[in-house]
Amino acid sequence: MLSQLFNFTSSFADVRDRTTLIAKARWLLLILASLYAACAALFCLISEQNIPTTPKQLTIIGLSVITILSYNIIYHFYYETILRLKYVDHFQILLDLLFVTILVYCSSSSASWLWALYLLVTLEASILLQNRNEIWLLGTLGGLMFGGLLLLGYLNIIPHINLPFVDPELHYKPLYLLLKWLWVCLLNAIVAIAGAALMAAIRQERKAVKKSEAEKVAFMESAHDLIFHCTPDGKFLYVNPAWQNALGYGLDELSGKTVLDFIEEESKNRCMDEFHRALRGDKASTLEGHLVSRYGTHVMVEGSFSCTFKNGRPESMWGICRDITARKEAQEQLHHMAHHDMLTDLPNRFTFTDRLIQAKALAKREKRLLALLFLDLDRFKMVNDTLGHAVGDMMLQEVTNRLQSCVREVDTVSRFGGDEFVILLVNPETIADIERLAQQILKKLGQPMVIDGNELFITTSIGISIFPNDDTNTNDLIKKADIAMYQAKANGRNNCQFYCPDMDMHAQRRLILETSLRKALDNEEFYILYQPKVDLQDNHVTALEALLRWQHPTLGLIPPNDFISLAEESGIIVPLGEWVLREACTQALGWQREGLPAVRVAVNLSGFQLERKDFVERVKGILEETGLDGKYLEVEITETVIMQNPEFAVNILNQLRDMGIHISIDDFGTGYSSLAHLKRFSVNTLKIDKSFVNDVDLNDTDAAIATTIIAMGKILNLSVIAEGVETEGQLDFLKKVNCNEMQGYLFSEPLPADKILELLLSNKQL
């Protein structure tokens, strides 16, 4: 009880604490004053000195003591009750000044030793009041009350109380009284100034501390990091709002729970190790782990512990951790983006190579096969250039879906970029299985696609390399599959080719051709041969097909199959095609001017020429430049090119028809045309592919196909021409089924322009 009564550790920031502090000091002063009075009375009794007091004076002293005790009890124990009263603190200071004055009077006024109590009351005012002027005013009031007491005694207005050892004459010495009053006033002023300054400094410091604490609290309350405060055994003392929001618990719900209860099982050991390191005072490191919320979800965090110590013993533990769930998801997303293609979400080249290395090691250990299928879409650039990259991207996504539907989960489909895909086929049983899958892919991709309202067709060329048969080096396996893919393109596209060593020579030759091709047009290495098309009824020449040839200065004559695809891939096909068209038109007009019968000249068009927006204008410009009438020009377009984008082809063909140009579908029967499409195309002639003509007199299937095409052409009022006719048997069959025209070595091989001139002049019957 006494320890609580005389515990002076109070906060000056709180009004209640300040008043309680003064009340405690007053209790102590009363006790000390009582002890002092008892000792003084005892010494007087021993020294046989009498203290002349009257009952009236004793009554005043007694009432004063009772009054001090009463209001001190009120201020100490019932301050909240009187706190709402205005100037309540000022009132107790005035009471203290009054009763100090009474004590001074009762202790012989001018000779009293208790005048120092005025200094204590002034100090009391500096503690209770914050206004510096009020402190000085009350300190001045104390000095005036003491001066008034001395003056009243000097004028005998109030009787003197004479104490032993005090000279009664002191009450009537003006100089003594004045000097003493001035001394008390001076000390009182010093205490008022010093007390006010000291308390102002204390309050300012307290205010700064409070502001700092408030800022720290505000920081913790507003921090996005998860902050918690706990005892050394892990019981929670504080958790900030971010912690509460992340885990779904309020501070009042954490009673009886410890930090360990919220740590995921797999992370507990690591977290507890760091917790104990902090308790030992060791430097704790940052660690990652999972916290479990009240909803069962896991929150990925990164954080550390720190411990506060008191007298060398752990007092409390602080933990701060950051929710890195979003960051981890972002990192995983970036990792995924770094290892996958953005458009198709397939593994990219980097990931594919890594999987190939692992699969190769496994295949080597188990002595199994491993195959790489390198795919390149045929004429994909035409889709991008005619319909836009958005449609092209959707086509690539559809291709991705179809490829994935063809392979197993253990296999890997990767996009290397552009329209190149590579498939890693793990543990195929036989070579036949690999080829069967490649054929399945060709068939799957060959089916029509409806993209953004457009019916599109795409084919692909596939090159295949096999581990360990072809190579054991990762990069070389990919390279050899790529070489085989180019061989597939050279073989007419839409087929698959297995790598063989001979292809390396072809690849080297291909590189030389590609380099030479860029200079060949400028060096005038190209020339044109013409092959007649003949009407079967009267054997007259109906048209002459312009066939491009390349005479390489060192490699000799280069077949078209070897360089046309290179020209298309490199973009040279556009200027080269225009050169052929211009040369053919010029030659046709030249024959007419020499008085020969007017015949059409037929020019083969590449899909890459058709995709150019100014293609029709360029054809029109060449006709105007050469002076050839459009009805003497025939363009041959392969069925595959037309069906790759039928909507676009209809528009181009209609514009060419309006110019009077004759239009033929070349290689008919190898693509995907239907009667519905043929009705829409402005086509004049169907050209049966020579693959169906070769055995038409020997093979019933080829005969049925050729017969069907001819019959369909008749129904649609289209002329039908068979190419590649080389035998009399083929000729007899075609006459029997009423084919309109024929073209082939049986009638004439491709001839230079001067030979064609002789042919036409001699009016040779073919």
Identify whether residues 361 and 230 lie together within a single domain.
no
Helix/strand/coil for 429: coil
Joined tokens for residue 141: 């009031």
Give the C-alpha separation, 126 to 738, whole Å: 128
Give the C-alpha separation, 351 to 682, whole Å: 48
Q: From the CA atom positions of the chain, what is the Rg in Å?
A: 55
Identify whether residues 687 and 608 lie together within a single domain.
yes
- At a CB cut-off of 8 Å and minimum separation 6, what does 264 contact? 289, 290, 291, 292, 298
Tell me if 216 is assigned to some domain.
no
Is the predicted pLDDT of residue 8 greater than 50, yes or no? no
pLDDT at residue 65, as a whole number: 78
Last residue of a domain, one of 329, 350, 382: 329
Is the predicted pLDDT of residue 4 greater than 50, yes or no? no
CB 254, CB 236: distance < 8 Å: yes
Q: Is the pTM of this model over 0.75?
A: no
Residue with structure tokens 């001045």?
140
Read off the pLDDT band of 601 (50, 70, 90). Answer: very high
Identify whether residues 234 and 360 lie together within a single domain.
no
Give the C-alpha separation, 28 to 34, whole Å: 10
Tell me if 322 is assigned to some domain.
yes
Tell me if 496 is assigned to some domain.
yes
Give the C-alpha separation, 115 to 730, whole Å: 145
pLDDT at residue 549, as a whole number: 94
Helix residue ranges per DSSP H, 223-264: 241-247
Is the predicted pLDDT of residue 689 greater than 60, yes or no? yes
The mean-pLDDT minimum among 130-139, 438-447, 480-489 falls in 130-139
Last residue of a domain, one of 174, 208, 242: 208
Identify whether residues 491 and 549 lie together within a single domain.
no
Identify whether residues 51 and 174 lie together within a single domain.
yes
560 cis-preceded (ω within 30 degrees of 0):
no
DSSP secondary structure, 629-674, as one string: -GGGEEEEEEHHHHHHSHHHHHHHHHHHHHTT-EEEEEEETSS---
Read off the pLDDT band of 255 (50, 70, 90). Answer: confident
Helix/strand/coil for 659: coil
CATH of the domain at 472: 3.30.70.270
Give the C-alpha separation, 433 to 276, whole Å: 61
Identify whether residues 708 and 561 lie together within a single domain.
yes
pLDDT at residue 675, as a whole number: 55
Last residue of a domain, one of 181, 208, 235: 208
The mean-pLDDT minimum among 165-169, 524-528, 562-566 falls in 165-169
Tell me if 183 is assigned to some domain.
yes
Residue-wise pLDDT for 218-248, tens only, equals 888 888 888 888 898 888 888 889 888 888 8
Identify whether residues 645 and 731 lie together within a single domain.
yes
The mean-pLDDT minimum among 605-619, 640-654, 725-739 falls in 640-654
Residue-wise pLDDT for 486-496, tens only, equals 889 878 789 99
Identity (one letter) of the amino acid at 668?
Answer: F
Identify whether residues 283 and 390 lie together within a single domain.
no
Joined tokens for residue 397: 């996504």
Residue with structure tokens 């290892």?
339
Regarding beta strands 600-604 and 541-552, do their DSSP bridges make them parallel or antiparallel, or are they unpaired? parallel
Tell me if 509 is assigned to some domain.
no
Identify whether residues 320 and 411 lie together within a single domain.
no
Counted domains in the chain: 4
φ, ψ for residue 447 (rounded to 5)? -70, 145
Residue 416's domain spans which residues?
342-500
Identify whether residues 540 and 613 lie together within a single domain.
yes
Tell me if 510 is assigned to some domain.
no
pLDDT at residue 155, as a whole number: 85
Joined tokens for residue 68: 């001090």
Residue 566 is inside which H or E element, if any? helix 560-570
Instruction: Give residue 569's Cα distance to chain centre.
Output: 36
- At a CB cut-off of 8 Å and minimum separation 6, what does 292 contact? 247, 262, 263, 264, 298, 299
Identify whether residues 575 and 683 lie together within a single domain.
yes
DSSP secondary structure, 54-91, as one string: -HHHHHHHHHHHHHHHHHHHHHHHSHHHHTTSTTHHHH
Residue-wise pLDDT for 55-75, tens only, equals 766 777 778 778 777 777 777
Residue-wise pLDDT for 434-466, tens only, equals 999 999 999 999 898 888 888 888 889 999 999
Give the C-alpha separation, 512 to 515, whole Å: 5
Helix/strand/coil for 467: strand
Regarding beta strands 719-723 and 741-743, do their DSSP bridges make them parallel or antiparallel, or are they unpaired? parallel
Is the predicted pLDDT of residue 48 greater than 70, yes or no? no
Tell me if 335 is assigned to some domain.
no
DSSP secondary structure, 604-631, as one string: E--HHHHTSTTHHHHHHHHHHHHT--GG
pLDDT at residue 49, as a whole number: 57
Identify whether residues 21 and 140 lie together within a single domain.
yes
Tell me if 552 is assigned to some domain.
yes
CATH of the domain at 737: 3.20.20.450
Helix residue ranges per DSSP H, 228-348: 241-247, 265-279, 325-339
